[in-house]
Chains A and B, each alone.
Chain A
Amino acid sequence: GQQVMQIPQYQHVQEGEDFTTYCNSSTTLSNIQWYKQRPGGHPVFLIQLVKSGEVKKQKRLTFQFGEAKKNSSLHITATQTTDVGTYFCAGNSGGYQKVTFGTGTKLQVIP
């Protein structure tokens, strides 16, 4: 079945440093979504990428979808303590609305 891996599994950064998490799928995706889960909370949708090579920005967050539509990345510029949480990518290979969630990257920001 489809597998979606993320690296790194954990990341500790000093506040103000940049952060990047990478997502790789074993199969070509029709689209990819990113979610954020705060400690003790539930996953919250951030964004969806559909086109090959697509780049989207949300304030300090930059999302990229690979040319082959098998990988994606999330980059946070100048991290803040409010960025703490686990970031998941979720890939859709087509058909209904089922997505496969990645393994997640847990971000800790040190003030």
Chain B
Amino acid sequence: DAGVIQSPRHEVTEMGQEVTLRCKPISGHNSLFWYRQTMMRGLELLIYFNNNVPIDDSGMPEDRFSAKMPNASFSTLKIQPSEPRDSAVYFCASAGGVETQYFGPGTRLLVL
């Protein structure tokens, strides 16, 4: 089992550029979560999907952030336009029939 796969692992971009983060959940898991982690705010839930449907996006900071899950094996988190305050580690996690979440290795984003 490859676990949750995220790409890219590191991203450095300039303010104003579009950033797309990708996630492949564990096969068979029906829930997918996007988190953001910073020193100041800790681990924040941005959005979660159940059976590819967005259930709760109340954590999405603003309209610059969007997330999609076109099928059970792929999700994207997009930031457009990016800003320096978006710099953080973004984690994707997936879960099966129980609540245990399996996290990916994260994408370390730096917006200059």
Interface assignment of A48: CB less than 8 Å from any CB of chain B: yes
Whether A99 and B42, one on each chain, are in contact in the complex, defined by CB atoms closer than 8 angstroms, is: no
Task: Output the least CB separation between B75 and chain A (Å).
Answer: 15
How far apart sit A37 and B98, CA to CA, in the bound complex (Å)? 21
A:1-44 near B, CB below 8 Å: 31, 33, 41-44
Complex Cα–Cα for A44 and B43 (A): 13
Number of interface residues of B (CB under 8 A): 22
Would you call A103 and B99 a contact (CB within 8 A)? Answer: no
* B102 on interface, CB distance cutoff 8 Å: yes
List the count of A-B residue pairs having beta carbons below 8 Å apart: 51
Answer whether A42 and B91 are a contact pair too, CB < 8 Å, given A97-B50, A98-B55: yes
Residue contact A104 to B42, C-beta cutoff 8 Å: yes
User: Please, how many angstroms separate the alpha-carbon atoms of A43 and B31 in the complex?
Assistant: 17
Chain B residues with CB under 8 A of A33:
99-101
Cβ of B34 < 8 Å from any Cβ of A? no
Partner of B43, one of A48, A92, A101: A101
Chain A interface size range: 10 to 19
Query: B48 to chain A: which residues have CB within 8 Å?
Result: 96-98
In the complex, A97→B43 CA distance in Å? Answer: 16
On whether A101 and B103 interact (CB within 8 A), knowing A96-B31, A96-B50, the answer reads no
User: Which single residue of chain A is at the shortest CB-CB distance from B108?
Assistant: A40
Name B's A-contacting residues (CB within 8 A): 31, 33, 35, 42-43, 45, 48, 50, 55-56, 91, 93, 95, 98-106
16 additional A-B pairs beyond A90-B101, A104-B43, beta carbons within 8 Å, are A33-B99, A42-B91, A43-B43, A43-B93, A45-B100, A45-B101, A48-B99, A48-B100, A92-B99, A96-B55, A97-B50, A97-B95, A97-B98, A100-B45, A101-B45, A103-B42
Chain A residues proximal to chain B, CB less than 8 Å? 31, 33, 41-45, 48, 88, 90, 92, 96-101, 103-104
